Structure 1
Amino acid sequence: MRLNQKAILYIITSLLVLIMSWEAQRSMSVTAANLVTIPDEAIRLRILANSDSPQDQWLKREIRDKVNAEITNWVIELDTIENARDVIEAQLDKIEEIVQIELNTIGSKDSFTVEFNDVQFPTKLYGNVVYPAGIYESVLITIGTGKGENWWCVLFPPLCFIDFANGDAVADAGEEQEQEEVEVRFFVVEIFQTIKSFFA
């Protein structure tokens, strides 16, 4: 009887190891699926807030949403960076108008600039991918002094559903993955304790 109990314990332990291994592989797959790389030919959008005050950061996000929605409509069906570049250059006045409307809406007297040029970006770690510092073709919106926290994304090809500046998309996926891993660990521990109590 003692031998049979040991055999059962061995089988159950082996199954638990297999379950944990499967979960680890699945977690790695989820992480890989959520990594986003920026193509070599891309146009970015970068917005520099006036300061880090709550109001200035809120204004930055309002402008971000309006400008991003408008530009996405322009480039969503384009398949070359040349076409995207031509469309954005032709619509810079429209982008300036959007920014001005948002400033007027809240009664802000901040100055601003809208440029479409080569812009310096710092190194950014996003998930497990490092985006190196460098000069990238971008629409740059500077509000006031432009000394506040910045925000950026990729306009073409359209990747502005991801906040590369803060890594929000990967952070959300990571939180979900971490929760799943915790649940699996608790499940395994509970089974092991149950088995231990049974044989005790």
Structure 2
Amino acid sequence: MSKIFLLGLLFLFVAGGWGMLALYESRSTITTPNRNDYVRLHILANSDSLADQQMKLKVRDAVIAYLTPLVKNVKSAEDANSIILAHQGDIIKVAKQVVSVYDVEYPVTVQIGQFNFPVKSYGNLTLPAGQYQAVRILIGKAEGQNWWCVLFPPLCFIDGSKVATAPISGTSDDNNDKQPKIEIRWKITELLSSLSK
């Protein structure tokens, strides 16, 4: 092989390495969002009984249907949080109306503040573990499986009569979200492999 060819291969190898490094850094920037840019919704059921879990999902539907129009055009998490705080009493009323349909005497508590969350994925968005501004709705003893999504920016919303599939539900023990595996290939290796054939 000539020296010019080898120098060309070396140049391609170095340029490819720098390109892959830049791509990796840009991807890692995307997957580490600022926790202050989000307001989350967290609903805890009374228990794991079928009726209590169904009730939790009905409360979820009603609260999302109520809150989404209020925050959908908001520009910041701070503004969304202010709107939610101003409507805290109404959120309690909405949740209690659902619970009353089930003919039970469960209390409903709404907490608004900073709460710990595990790492969670919503489609292509992965939120790291840590403290987030959130609305927590505690139904009864709040000892059952829980459900969460992101209120702002709106990643949980109602589509007709059902919740859209964008949010991924789970319990605090549900850490089975798999990250897609990135396969790195060097073009130079493929080129050399094709030349040797």
Q: CA 1:92/1:57 → structure 2, altered by over 3 Å: closer, same or farther? A: closer
Aligned residues: 175
Alignment check: 8 A CA contact 2:31 2:127 kept:
no
Question: How far 1:140 moved relative to its partner?
Answer: 1.4
Structure 1 residues 75-154: aligned runs within 5 Å:
75-77=71-73, 79=79, 81-98=81-98, 112-117=106-111, 121-122=115-116, 124-125=118-119, 127=126, 129-132=128-131, 138-142=135-139, 145-154=141-150
Aligned: 1:18 with 2:15:
yes
Cα distance between partner residues in 1 of 2:33 and 2:67: 20
Alignment check: 8 A CA contact 1:45 1:152 kept:
yes
Question: How far 1:185 moved relative to its partner?
Answer: 1.6
Q: CA 1:39/1:128 → structure 2, altered by over 3 Å: closer, same or farther? A: closer
Cα distance between partner residues in 2 of 1:55 and 1:14: 65
Q: CA 1:16/1:148 → structure 2, altered by over 3 Å: closer, same or farther? A: farther
Cα distance between partner residues in 1 of 2:112 and 2:105: 21
TM-score by length of 1: 0.59
Q: CA 1:71/1:141 → structure 2, altered by over 3 Å: closer, same or farther? A: farther
> Which residue identity does 2:193 align to in structure 1?
Q
Indicate the SS of the match to 1:185.
Answer: coil
Cα distance between partner residues in 2 of 1:56 and 1:185: 50
TM-score by length of 2: 0.59
> Which residue identity does 1:152 align to in structure 2?
W
Gaps of 5+ in 2: 121-125, 157-166
Indicate the SS of the match to 2:87.
Answer: helix
Q: CA 1:91/1:120 → structure 2, altered by over 3 Å: closer, same or farther? A: closer
Question: How far 1:62 moved relative to its partner?
Answer: 5.5
Alignment check: 8 A CA contact 1:67 1:98 kept:
no
Aligned-CA RMSD value: 4.3
Tell me what 1:37 maps to. Answer: 34
